Structure 1
Amino acid sequence: MARYTGAVCRLCRREGMKLFLKGDRCYGGKCAFERRSYAPGQHGQGRKKISDYGVQLREKQKAKRIYGLLENQFRRTYDRAEKLRGITGENLLKLLEMRLDNVVFRLGYGNSRTEARQLVTHGHFLVNGKKVDIPSYSVKAGDVITVREKSRASELFKTFAENPKSLPKWLSGDVATFTGKVEAIPAREDIDVPVNETLIVELYSK
Protein backbone atom coordinates (compact mmCIF):
# COMPACT_ATOMS: atom_id res chain seq x y z
CA MET A 1 0.00 0.00 0.00
CA ALA A 2 1.62 3.24 -1.16
CA ARG A 3 1.72 6.17 1.24
CA TYR A 4 3.64 9.36 1.86
CA THR A 5 6.57 8.77 4.23
CA GLY A 6 8.25 12.18 4.24
CA ALA A 7 8.11 15.01 6.77
CA VAL A 8 4.45 15.85 7.33
CA CYS A 9 4.97 19.39 8.61
CA ARG A 10 6.59 20.35 5.31
CA LEU A 11 3.24 19.74 3.62
CA CYS A 12 1.45 22.32 5.74
CA ARG A 13 4.22 24.84 5.16
CA ARG A 14 4.13 24.20 1.40
CA GLU A 15 0.38 24.83 1.26
CA GLY A 16 0.63 27.90 3.49
CA MET A 17 -1.94 26.71 6.01
CA LYS A 18 -2.46 24.16 8.77
CA LEU A 19 -3.76 20.88 7.38
CA PHE A 20 -3.87 19.22 10.84
CA LEU A 21 -2.04 16.15 9.62
CA LYS A 22 -0.53 15.32 13.03
CA GLY A 23 -3.63 15.57 15.18
CA ASP A 24 -3.08 17.06 18.65
CA ARG A 25 0.47 18.19 17.84
CA CYS A 26 -0.94 20.71 15.37
CA TYR A 27 -2.76 22.53 18.19
CA GLY A 28 0.30 22.93 20.43
CA GLY A 29 3.47 24.97 20.46
CA LYS A 30 5.42 22.22 18.67
CA CYS A 31 3.60 22.87 15.40
CA ALA A 32 6.23 23.64 12.75
CA PHE A 33 3.84 25.87 10.83
CA GLU A 34 3.53 28.19 13.84
CA ARG A 35 7.31 28.63 13.92
CA ARG A 36 7.96 28.73 10.17
CA SER A 37 4.88 29.52 8.12
CA TYR A 38 6.81 30.11 4.91
CA ALA A 39 7.30 27.38 2.28
CA PRO A 40 10.12 24.86 2.83
CA GLY A 41 13.38 24.95 0.88
CA GLN A 42 16.04 27.57 0.31
CA HIS A 43 13.71 29.69 -1.85
CA GLY A 44 10.66 29.26 0.39
CA GLN A 45 10.63 32.82 1.70
CA GLY A 46 11.04 34.29 -1.79
CA ARG A 47 8.04 32.65 -3.47
CA LYS A 48 5.39 35.30 -4.03
CA LYS A 49 3.95 35.36 -7.55
CA ILE A 50 1.85 32.36 -8.60
CA SER A 51 0.14 31.63 -11.93
CA ASP A 52 -3.45 30.48 -12.43
CA TYR A 53 -2.12 26.97 -13.04
CA GLY A 54 -0.15 27.21 -9.79
CA VAL A 55 -3.29 28.18 -7.85
CA GLN A 56 -5.16 25.18 -9.28
CA LEU A 57 -2.24 22.85 -8.58
CA ARG A 58 -1.93 23.99 -4.99
CA GLU A 59 -5.65 23.36 -4.43
CA LYS A 60 -5.31 19.82 -5.77
CA GLN A 61 -2.21 19.17 -3.66
CA LYS A 62 -3.99 20.49 -0.60
CA ALA A 63 -6.92 18.09 -1.06
CA LYS A 64 -4.55 15.16 -1.66
CA ARG A 65 -2.64 15.91 1.52
CA ILE A 66 -5.69 16.44 3.71
CA TYR A 67 -7.08 13.03 2.76
CA GLY A 68 -3.69 11.30 2.60
CA LEU A 69 -3.77 10.17 -1.03
CA LEU A 70 -1.00 9.94 -3.59
CA GLU A 71 -1.43 11.23 -7.15
CA ASN A 72 -2.60 8.01 -8.81
CA GLN A 73 -5.13 7.32 -6.03
CA PHE A 74 -6.44 10.86 -6.21
CA ARG A 75 -6.72 10.80 -10.01
CA ARG A 76 -8.65 7.52 -9.94
CA THR A 77 -11.05 9.04 -7.43
CA TYR A 78 -11.48 12.07 -9.67
CA ASP A 79 -12.19 9.84 -12.68
CA ARG A 80 -14.90 8.07 -10.67
CA ALA A 81 -16.40 11.42 -9.65
CA GLU A 82 -16.47 12.57 -13.27
CA LYS A 83 -18.60 9.58 -14.28
CA LEU A 84 -21.21 10.15 -11.58
CA ARG A 85 -24.27 12.32 -12.00
CA GLY A 86 -24.07 15.79 -10.54
CA ILE A 87 -21.27 18.30 -10.07
CA THR A 88 -17.86 16.67 -10.52
CA GLY A 89 -16.11 18.69 -7.79
CA GLU A 90 -18.77 17.93 -5.21
CA ASN A 91 -18.79 14.27 -6.23
CA LEU A 92 -15.03 14.19 -5.68
CA LEU A 93 -15.27 15.50 -2.13
CA LYS A 94 -18.13 13.12 -1.34
CA LEU A 95 -16.10 10.13 -2.54
CA LEU A 96 -13.15 11.25 -0.42
CA GLU A 97 -15.37 11.67 2.63
CA MET A 98 -16.90 8.22 2.16
CA ARG A 99 -13.53 6.46 2.31
CA LEU A 100 -13.43 4.13 5.32
CA ASP A 101 -10.33 5.74 6.81
CA ASN A 102 -11.98 9.17 6.69
CA VAL A 103 -15.24 7.88 8.19
CA VAL A 104 -13.31 6.21 11.01
CA PHE A 105 -11.54 9.53 11.67
CA ARG A 106 -14.83 11.44 11.59
CA LEU A 107 -16.32 8.98 14.08
CA GLY A 108 -13.58 9.87 16.56
CA TYR A 109 -11.15 6.99 16.16
CA GLY A 110 -7.76 8.56 15.55
CA ASN A 111 -6.27 11.98 16.14
CA SER A 112 -5.59 12.33 12.41
CA ARG A 113 -6.60 10.64 9.19
CA THR A 114 -3.16 9.05 9.08
CA GLU A 115 -3.75 7.36 12.44
CA ALA A 116 -7.26 6.31 11.40
CA ARG A 117 -5.85 4.82 8.20
CA GLN A 118 -3.34 2.79 10.21
CA LEU A 119 -6.09 1.51 12.52
CA VAL A 120 -8.13 0.37 9.52
CA THR A 121 -5.10 -1.33 7.97
CA HIS A 122 -4.50 -3.24 11.21
CA GLY A 123 -8.00 -4.69 11.03
CA HIS A 124 -9.62 -3.02 14.04
CA PHE A 125 -12.96 -2.31 12.33
CA LEU A 126 -15.97 -4.17 11.00
CA VAL A 127 -18.35 -2.86 8.34
CA ASN A 128 -21.79 -4.44 8.66
CA GLY A 129 -20.22 -7.18 10.78
CA LYS A 130 -17.39 -8.04 8.37
CA LYS A 131 -13.74 -7.11 8.85
CA VAL A 132 -12.51 -4.53 6.36
CA ASP A 133 -8.84 -3.53 6.38
CA ILE A 134 -8.77 -1.45 3.18
CA PRO A 135 -8.59 2.30 3.94
CA SER A 136 -9.98 3.25 0.50
CA TYR A 137 -13.08 1.07 0.94
CA SER A 138 -16.15 3.17 0.07
CA VAL A 139 -18.88 3.02 2.67
CA LYS A 140 -22.52 3.58 1.76
CA ALA A 141 -25.49 5.17 3.45
CA GLY A 142 -26.80 2.72 6.04
CA ASP A 143 -23.46 1.02 6.69
CA VAL A 144 -22.61 0.32 10.34
CA ILE A 145 -18.98 0.60 11.46
CA THR A 146 -17.95 -1.08 14.70
CA VAL A 147 -14.71 -1.74 16.54
CA ARG A 148 -13.75 -5.41 16.75
CA GLU A 149 -14.42 -7.01 20.11
CA LYS A 150 -10.74 -7.82 20.69
CA SER A 151 -9.71 -4.20 20.02
CA ARG A 152 -12.12 -2.56 22.46
CA ALA A 153 -10.06 -3.45 25.53
CA SER A 154 -6.92 -1.71 24.27
CA GLU A 155 -5.78 1.49 25.96
CA LEU A 156 -5.91 3.35 22.66
CA PHE A 157 -9.60 2.71 22.09
CA LYS A 158 -10.38 3.40 25.73
CA THR A 159 -8.76 6.81 25.25
CA PHE A 160 -10.94 7.48 22.21
CA ALA A 161 -14.03 6.50 24.21
CA GLU A 162 -13.09 8.91 27.00
CA ASN A 163 -12.58 11.81 24.57
CA PRO A 164 -15.48 11.73 22.11
CA LYS A 165 -15.63 14.13 19.16
CA SER A 166 -18.70 15.89 17.83
CA LEU A 167 -19.97 14.06 14.75
CA PRO A 168 -21.01 15.55 11.41
CA LYS A 169 -24.74 15.29 10.86
CA TRP A 170 -24.37 12.59 8.20
CA LEU A 171 -22.92 10.21 10.82
CA SER A 172 -24.36 8.87 14.06
CA GLY A 173 -23.01 6.77 16.90
CA ASP A 174 -20.72 7.13 19.85
CA VAL A 175 -17.13 6.04 20.45
CA ALA A 176 -18.21 4.93 23.93
CA THR A 177 -20.38 2.23 22.34
CA PHE A 178 -17.74 1.50 19.67
CA THR A 179 -20.40 1.83 16.98
CA GLY A 180 -21.10 4.34 14.23
CA LYS A 181 -23.50 4.53 11.32
CA VAL A 182 -23.46 6.34 8.00
CA GLU A 183 -26.86 8.01 7.97
CA ALA A 184 -26.53 9.61 4.54
CA ILE A 185 -24.10 10.67 1.84
CA PRO A 186 -22.75 14.07 2.98
CA ALA A 187 -23.90 17.19 1.18
CA ARG A 188 -21.30 19.77 0.15
CA GLU A 189 -22.19 22.03 3.07
CA ASP A 190 -21.49 19.13 5.45
CA ILE A 191 -17.87 18.81 4.28
CA ASP A 192 -15.73 21.26 6.22
CA VAL A 193 -12.39 20.85 4.42
CA PRO A 194 -10.86 24.15 3.19
CA VAL A 195 -10.76 23.14 -0.47
CA ASN A 196 -12.11 24.86 -3.58
CA GLU A 197 -13.04 21.82 -5.63
CA THR A 198 -13.84 23.93 -8.70
CA LEU A 199 -10.13 24.70 -9.13
CA ILE A 200 -9.32 20.98 -9.07
CA VAL A 201 -11.85 20.32 -11.83
CA GLU A 202 -10.37 23.17 -13.88
CA LEU A 203 -6.89 21.68 -13.46
CA TYR A 204 -7.85 18.18 -14.56
CA SER A 205 -10.02 19.50 -17.41
CA LYS A 206 -7.07 21.03 -19.25
Structure 2
Amino acid sequence: MRRLALTLTVPFAIVLTACGSSSEPAETVTVTSPAATPTSGSTEPSPTSEDSPDSTSTDDASPPATSSPTQGCQREGGNITVPDGATCRLTDEDIAGNITVGQGATLTAKDIDVDGNVVGRGHAAVTITDSDIDGNVQLKGGKKATIRDTDIDGTLQADNARGAQVFRDNDIDGNLTCTGNKPAPTGGNNDVDGSKRGQCARL
Protein backbone atom coordinates (compact mmCIF):
# COMPACT_ATOMS: atom_id res chain seq x y z
CA MET A 1 0.00 0.00 0.00
CA ARG A 2 1.04 3.63 -0.59
CA ARG A 3 1.83 6.12 2.13
CA LEU A 4 -0.40 9.28 1.86
CA ALA A 5 0.51 12.52 3.53
CA LEU A 6 -1.99 15.46 3.69
CA THR A 7 -0.64 18.86 4.63
CA LEU A 8 -2.84 21.92 5.42
CA THR A 9 -0.64 25.02 5.22
CA VAL A 10 -3.15 27.61 6.39
CA PRO A 11 -3.85 27.94 9.19
CA PHE A 12 -2.53 24.51 10.26
CA ALA A 13 -1.21 21.25 8.76
CA ILE A 14 -2.43 17.72 9.22
CA VAL A 15 -0.31 14.80 8.16
CA LEU A 16 -2.01 11.47 7.48
CA THR A 17 0.08 8.41 7.04
CA ALA A 18 -1.22 5.10 5.81
CA CYS A 19 0.39 1.83 6.64
CA GLY A 20 2.32 0.21 3.87
CA SER A 21 5.65 -0.61 2.53
CA SER A 22 8.39 1.84 3.36
CA SER A 23 9.85 1.32 -0.10
CA GLU A 24 7.15 3.40 -1.81
CA PRO A 25 7.59 7.14 -1.64
CA ALA A 26 5.08 9.14 0.33
CA GLU A 27 2.67 11.25 -1.62
CA THR A 28 2.02 14.72 -0.21
CA VAL A 29 -1.18 16.66 -0.94
CA THR A 30 -1.26 20.36 -0.01
CA VAL A 31 -4.63 21.97 0.80
CA THR A 32 -4.82 25.75 1.16
CA SER A 33 -7.72 27.24 3.05
CA PRO A 34 -9.52 30.19 1.39
CA ALA A 35 -8.53 33.70 2.50
CA ALA A 36 -10.58 34.99 5.33
CA THR A 37 -13.02 37.75 4.41
CA PRO A 38 -13.54 40.62 6.79
CA THR A 39 -16.74 40.55 8.74
CA SER A 40 -19.00 43.48 9.20
CA GLY A 41 -17.65 43.91 12.70
CA SER A 42 -14.13 44.50 11.41
CA THR A 43 -15.05 47.50 9.20
CA GLU A 44 -13.42 50.69 10.45
CA PRO A 45 -15.93 53.44 11.25
CA SER A 46 -15.91 56.50 9.02
CA PRO A 47 -14.87 59.79 10.60
CA THR A 48 -17.66 61.59 12.37
CA SER A 49 -18.35 65.29 12.30
CA GLU A 50 -16.44 65.58 15.58
CA ASP A 51 -13.28 64.23 13.87
CA SER A 52 -13.54 66.64 10.91
CA PRO A 53 -12.77 70.36 11.11
CA ASP A 54 -15.88 72.53 11.18
CA SER A 55 -15.68 74.78 8.16
CA THR A 56 -18.68 76.82 9.34
CA SER A 57 -17.29 77.70 12.74
CA THR A 58 -18.07 81.29 13.74
CA ASP A 59 -15.73 81.48 16.74
CA ASP A 60 -13.50 83.97 14.92
CA ALA A 61 -16.35 85.97 13.35
CA SER A 62 -16.01 89.72 13.86
CA PRO A 63 -18.88 91.66 15.47
CA PRO A 64 -20.98 93.78 13.12
CA ALA A 65 -19.65 97.25 12.59
CA THR A 66 -21.60 100.08 14.23
CA SER A 67 -22.44 103.11 12.15
CA SER A 68 -21.10 106.55 12.97
CA PRO A 69 -23.54 109.52 13.08
CA THR A 70 -21.60 111.08 10.19
CA GLN A 71 -22.50 108.07 8.01
CA GLY A 72 -26.09 109.38 8.01
CA CYS A 73 -24.92 112.43 6.00
CA GLN A 74 -25.19 111.40 2.36
CA ARG A 75 -23.30 113.82 0.10
CA GLU A 76 -23.88 114.33 -3.58
CA GLY A 77 -23.13 117.33 -5.78
CA GLY A 78 -22.62 119.69 -2.85
CA ASN A 79 -25.93 118.65 -1.23
CA ILE A 80 -26.42 116.68 1.98
CA THR A 81 -29.35 114.30 2.49
CA VAL A 82 -30.20 112.70 5.82
CA PRO A 83 -32.12 109.53 4.87
CA ASP A 84 -35.26 108.42 6.68
CA GLY A 85 -34.44 107.38 10.25
CA ALA A 86 -30.76 108.33 9.97
CA THR A 87 -28.68 110.70 12.12
CA CYS A 88 -26.32 113.35 10.73
CA ARG A 89 -23.98 115.56 12.77
CA LEU A 90 -22.16 118.48 11.18
CA THR A 91 -19.61 120.78 12.83
CA ASP A 92 -17.60 123.65 11.33
CA GLU A 93 -18.39 122.79 7.72
CA ASP A 94 -19.25 124.58 4.47
CA ILE A 95 -22.09 123.09 2.40
CA ALA A 96 -22.28 124.29 -1.20
CA GLY A 97 -25.87 123.12 -1.76
CA ASN A 98 -28.93 122.19 0.31
CA ILE A 99 -29.54 120.04 3.37
CA THR A 100 -32.62 117.77 3.28
CA VAL A 101 -33.76 115.88 6.37
CA GLY A 102 -36.01 112.85 5.82
CA GLN A 103 -38.80 111.15 7.75
CA GLY A 104 -37.80 110.32 11.32
CA ALA A 105 -34.27 111.59 10.67
CA THR A 106 -32.12 113.78 12.93
CA LEU A 107 -29.83 116.67 11.99
CA THR A 108 -27.54 118.29 14.54
CA ALA A 109 -25.43 121.13 13.12
CA LYS A 110 -23.14 123.72 14.70
CA ASP A 111 -21.03 126.41 13.07
CA ILE A 112 -21.97 125.46 9.50
CA ASP A 113 -22.28 127.66 6.39
CA VAL A 114 -24.98 126.54 3.94
CA ASP A 115 -25.18 128.16 0.49
CA GLY A 116 -28.66 126.75 -0.13
CA ASN A 117 -31.70 125.79 1.96
CA VAL A 118 -32.32 123.56 4.95
CA VAL A 119 -35.52 121.51 4.53
CA GLY A 120 -37.01 119.07 7.03
CA ARG A 121 -40.14 117.02 6.28
CA GLY A 122 -41.44 114.64 8.91
CA HIS A 123 -38.09 114.84 10.71
CA ALA A 124 -37.50 113.62 14.24
CA ALA A 125 -35.28 116.58 15.20
CA VAL A 126 -33.46 119.48 13.57
CA THR A 127 -30.97 121.48 15.63
CA ILE A 128 -28.94 124.32 14.10
CA THR A 129 -26.82 126.68 16.18
CA ASP A 130 -24.17 129.34 15.51
CA SER A 131 -24.53 128.95 11.74
CA ASP A 132 -25.13 130.87 8.47
CA ILE A 133 -27.90 129.82 6.07
CA ASP A 134 -27.91 131.68 2.73
CA GLY A 135 -31.33 130.34 1.75
CA ASN A 136 -34.46 129.38 3.69
CA VAL A 137 -35.14 127.07 6.63
CA GLN A 138 -38.37 125.10 6.07
CA LEU A 139 -39.65 122.68 8.71
CA LYS A 140 -42.89 120.85 7.89
CA GLY A 141 -44.74 118.05 9.68
CA GLY A 142 -41.82 117.15 11.92
CA LYS A 143 -41.27 116.93 15.63
CA LYS A 144 -38.53 118.77 17.53
CA ALA A 145 -36.58 121.75 16.22
CA THR A 146 -34.13 124.27 17.63
CA ILE A 147 -32.76 127.19 15.58
CA ARG A 148 -30.55 129.47 17.67
CA ASP A 149 -27.87 132.13 17.12
CA THR A 150 -28.11 131.66 13.34
CA ASP A 151 -28.14 134.09 10.41
CA ILE A 152 -30.80 133.22 7.81
CA ASP A 153 -30.79 135.21 4.57
CA GLY A 154 -34.21 133.86 3.62
CA THR A 155 -37.29 132.84 5.63
CA LEU A 156 -37.71 130.61 8.67
CA GLN A 157 -40.94 128.64 8.27
CA ALA A 158 -42.30 126.01 10.68
CA ASP A 159 -45.64 124.30 9.99
CA ASN A 160 -47.66 121.42 11.48
CA ALA A 161 -45.01 120.13 13.88
CA ARG A 162 -45.88 117.80 16.75
CA GLY A 163 -43.01 118.52 19.09
CA ALA A 164 -41.24 121.31 20.95
CA GLN A 165 -39.69 124.00 18.73
CA VAL A 166 -37.41 126.79 19.92
CA PHE A 167 -36.42 129.77 17.75
CA ARG A 168 -34.19 132.20 19.60
CA ASP A 169 -31.58 134.90 18.94
CA ASN A 170 -31.63 134.54 15.15
CA ASP A 171 -31.01 137.20 12.49
CA ILE A 172 -33.58 136.61 9.70
CA ASP A 173 -33.59 138.70 6.52
CA GLY A 174 -36.93 137.28 5.33
CA ASN A 175 -39.99 136.28 7.37
CA LEU A 176 -40.54 134.22 10.51
CA THR A 177 -43.79 132.32 10.01
CA CYS A 178 -45.33 129.46 12.03
CA THR A 179 -48.72 127.75 11.61
CA GLY A 180 -50.48 124.61 12.82
CA ASN A 181 -47.81 123.58 15.34
CA LYS A 182 -48.72 121.72 18.56
CA PRO A 183 -47.41 123.06 20.85
CA ALA A 184 -46.70 126.53 19.51
CA PRO A 185 -43.00 127.39 19.08
CA THR A 186 -41.21 129.23 21.86
CA GLY A 187 -38.15 131.46 22.03
CA GLY A 188 -37.70 135.13 21.25
CA ASN A 189 -35.24 137.91 20.54
CA ASN A 190 -35.25 137.17 16.80
CA ASP A 191 -34.23 140.08 14.55
CA VAL A 192 -36.55 139.76 11.53
CA ASP A 193 -36.31 142.17 8.56
CA GLY A 194 -39.54 140.86 7.05
CA SER A 195 -42.54 140.02 9.23
CA LYS A 196 -43.34 137.69 12.12
CA ARG A 197 -46.48 135.72 11.40
CA GLY A 198 -48.87 133.27 12.97
CA GLN A 199 -47.67 131.44 16.08
CA CYS A 200 -44.27 133.17 15.84
CA ALA A 201 -45.68 136.71 15.76
CA ARG A 202 -44.23 137.45 19.20
CA LEU A 203 -40.92 135.70 18.83
Which of 1 and 2 has greater Rg?
A: 2
Greater share of residues in helix? 1
Q: TM-score range by the shorter chain?
A: under 0.3
Greater share of residues in strand? 2
TM-score by length of 2: 0.21
TM-score by length of 1: 0.21
